Structure 1
Amino acid sequence: MSLENPAVISVLVEGALGVEAARGALDALDVDPVLMAQRGRQVSRAAFAMAMNIALFQNLLTRVPSGAAYVADRVARGGRIMFDHGALRTVRLVEGPTGELPPGEDAFTRILLPLGYELAAVYPLDRLRMTGRAYRHADMAEAVPQFFLSELHVDRFDPEFAEVAARVFGTSRDPLTAEARAVLGKYAEERPVSLDEAMKALPAIIAAFDCQHAPASIEDYELLLSRSHEAGWIATEGNAFNHATDRVADVAALAERLKAEDWPMKDRLEISRTGRVRQTAFRADTVDRLFAGNEMRRVPGSFYEFISRDIDPETGGLDLAFDTGNATGIFAMTSAH
């Protein structure tokens, strides 16, 4: 790699993950050649967003053995992964911030909007007492992964739940450094960002996609879980990727093959009201998590998802929408233990 004219995404991902993990991620993912061709000492917002997504995808695989095994199998068969979207869960307390973090999804829109993401659609998840929002990249909507950013509304629960949620999530710290804020500010103002600035900022921005609060007590965790599987999940996993999604040509055929090979598949396919978006997933892997008082417990972690998207006849491009029913069905993957 030329140090005078470096490949921007490769440099950023190597800086964030280390050379070996970066090579593995870049070899596994089908990244748009236009993005991979960006070279030089400045970093476009699309290139930064893609590098961030690659690092987050690789991070998910370190926590989801079933996903890592699937990706290894796919690569061994000569294929690559088209990373469609990542999903996050956030908490909006009854009032005020979430500890040091901005409330709910604001903790991530402050990252996504400067990087070129736009709100594409809102999906009420009323049965879960949540709202999902899709954020799509303005520059390369089909090539840069979307975010499905959901928000748990604590004010829709009882006062005891609200008290425990404030106690657990109120300990959240804010991982964004001054360098990260400065780079996001430059992108927001459409000013140039140098490769050196981007390399310093990226690790702190990646760190935002993690658990920021102190370990909950078993009692507080169980109360949250008794009212909301999603709240219980956030209590142990925080704002880490809930799942990452592989865009495939025929998800139904893939699901049948994976079931036949005894992969931990969801029982049925989720099909959108339009019929154009079809999704399924592996069941969440279990993980050991530390609770207050040094207690350990096995809980549902994150998972790996699959999606097929047909052409939207109105636009002539891929139907990049989500679906409230699909999302609610997919969310159940972390409560199936």
Structure 2
Amino acid sequence: MSKENMGTIEKLVTATLGDDVGRQTLDMLVIDPGLLAQNGDGVSRAAFAMAMNVALFHDLLRRVPSGDAYVADTLARGGRVMFDHGALRSIRFPDGPTGALPAGQDAFTRIFLPLGYEMAAIYPLDRLRMTGRAYRHIDFPEAIPQFFLSELHVDRFDPEFVEAAARIFGTSRDPLDAPTIAMLADFERGATVHFTVAVVALPIILSAFDRQHEPPAFEDYQLLLSRSNEAAWIATEGNGFNHATDRVADVAALSQRLKDEDRPMKERLEISATGRVRQTAFRADSVERPFADGQWRTVPGSFYEFISRDVDPETGRLDLAFDTGNATGIFAMTSAQEGANR
């Protein structure tokens, strides 16, 4: 297909990931035809948001071999992935920014809100000393993936933890440049953005979903790990996609099949208080990450998740909510294993 006949999302994705990888990734996903049909020189916030999510999905599979293998198997069976949501973790200090990066979730709400997302709900994760927030797209709430954005509250830990966190995360840089911030301001005021601007900004936006701070000192990493698996995970993985989630018809049946195939599955299904949202996941794949002493060590990376959502009888629409208990259980997928402490 010529570039002139491509829709906006396909043009953005292939320009960012390359023609072959871009089309392969698009072919993995169920994408609303109304989104794919958008074309022309003007890029809507919804088209940009969907292209961003496609690229983030590709990045997650690149880092999570278990998820990549599952998606390959799904395609071989004639299926596609309904990308339900992605999850991010962030750090919030008691006062001020995180190095040069805006504090906690602010580093991402400055991206999400201009792209048409709104906060749908707050989920206290008190056992983890975190707060989760769901961000849902206003224009295509069921079709564009949500974000589950969590903050770890450094001030809920002891002074030794606070000092180690400051040494690690205080080195954070801000990946967004002035032209990208200006593009987001255009989206925020309701304008469409010219394709030539959007295609330059997309890789810069994607770079925000990464580690912005310097490799941590191993001693500081161990200290964080002794108090919080989640803080230690952010120390090595930063603001990378913690997981991407496949919306499936029957997560219980899928979970049993994957267990029977000896996939690295979570043992127990997480079921929301309403019973309408059911989740499980692969255990996190291990990755090699650098530390300040120049050594590379094995730590938990990201993972791939599965969810089933029922219709909410009060609204007659798909229940797009999350659940504090479910989230706390799913977060355990990145708990450090014995090998991470060596």
Secondary structure in 1 matching 2:246 = strand
Q: What are the within-5 Å matches in structure 2 for residues 94-133 of structure 1?
A: 94-133=94-133
**1:57 deviation in Å?**
0.5
2:299·2:336 contact (CA, 8 Å) conserved in 1?
no
Q: Using the aligned pairs only, state the percent identity.
A: 71
Aligned to 2:56: 56
Q: Contact (CA 8 Å) 2:45, 2:192: kept in 1 or not?
A: no
1:82 partner amino acid: M
Quick one: distance in 2 between partners of 1:52 and 1:307? 21
Please name the residue that 1:184 is paired with: 184
> Does structure 1 residue 208 correspond to structure 2 residue 227?
no
Please say if residues 116 and 137 of structure 2, whose CA atoms lie closer than 8 Å, have aligned partners that are also in contact.
yes
Q: Distance in 2 between matches of 1:22 and 1:4?
A: 16
Counterpart secondary structure, 2:305: strand
Question: 1:258 maps to what in 2?
Answer: 258
**CA offsets 1:191-235 (integer angstroms, 9 cap, x no match):** 220111110110000000000000001100000110100000000
Query: How much has 1:179 moved relative to structure 2?
Result: 2.1
Q: Do the aligned partners of 1:6 and 1:41 also contact (CA within 8 Å) in 2?
A: no
Q: How does 1:266-277 map to 2 (within 5 A)?
A: 266-277=266-277
Indicate conservation of the 8 Å contact 2:279/2:308, yes or no. yes
The Cα offsets for residues 280-325 of structure 1, whole Å up to 9 and x where unpaired, read as 0000000000001211110000000000000001111100000000
Tell me what 2:20 maps to.
20
Q: 2:163 maps to which residue? A: 163
**One-letter code aligned to 2:249:** A
Task: State how 1:51-90 maps to structure 2 within 5 Å.
Answer: 51-90=51-90
The one-letter code of the counterpart of 1:45 is R
Question: After the TM superposition, which segments of 4 or more aligned residues of structure 1 sit over 6 Å from their partners?
Answer: none
What stretches of structure 1 of length at least 5 have no aligned partner? none
Contact 1:179 1:200 survives alignment (8 Å) = no
Partner of 1:199: 199
Deviation at 1:6, TM superposition (A): 3.7
Q: Are the counterparts in 2 of residues 243 and 303 from structure 1 also a CA contact under 8 Å?
A: yes
Amino acid at match of 1:41: D
Letter in 2 for 1:291: F
Task: Give the Cα separation in 1 of the matches to 2:295 and 2:156.
Answer: 30
Preserved contact between residue 5 and residue 40 of structure 1 (Cα < 8 Å): no
Superposition deviation, residue 178 in structure 1: 1.9
CA distance in 1, matches of 2:35, 2:145: 12
Residue identity in the other structure for 1:170: G
Query: TM-score, normalized by length of structure 1?
Result: 0.99
Which stretch of the first structure deviates more once superposed, 168-177 or 125-134?
A: 168-177
The Cα offsets for residues 21-51 of structure 1, whole Å up to 9 and x where unpaired, read as: 1111101011111111111111111110000
| Maintained 8 Å contact 1:7/1:36 | yes
CA-CA distance at 1:5 after TM superposition = 5.2
Q: CA RMSD in A?
A: 0.9
Per-residue deviation, residues 252-303 of structure 1 (Å, max 9, x unmatched)? 0000000000110000100000000000000000000000121111000000
Letter in 1 for 2:225: L
- The one-letter amino acid paired with 1:212 is Q
Aligned length: 337
Provide the secondary structure at the position in 2 that maps to 1:292.
coil
Tell me whether 83-92 or 172-181 shows the greater mean CA deviation. 172-181
Structure-2 separation of matches of 1:19 and 1:35: 19
TM-score with structure 2 setting the length: 0.97
Tell me if the contact between 2:229 and 2:336 (Cα under 8 Å) persists in the aligned partners: no
Q: 1:169 deviation in Å?
A: 0.3
Offset at residue 77 of structure 1 (A): 0.5
C-alpha offsets along residues 59-89 of structure 1, whole Å, 9 cap, x if unaligned? 0000000000000000011000000000000
Amino acid at match of 2:110: R
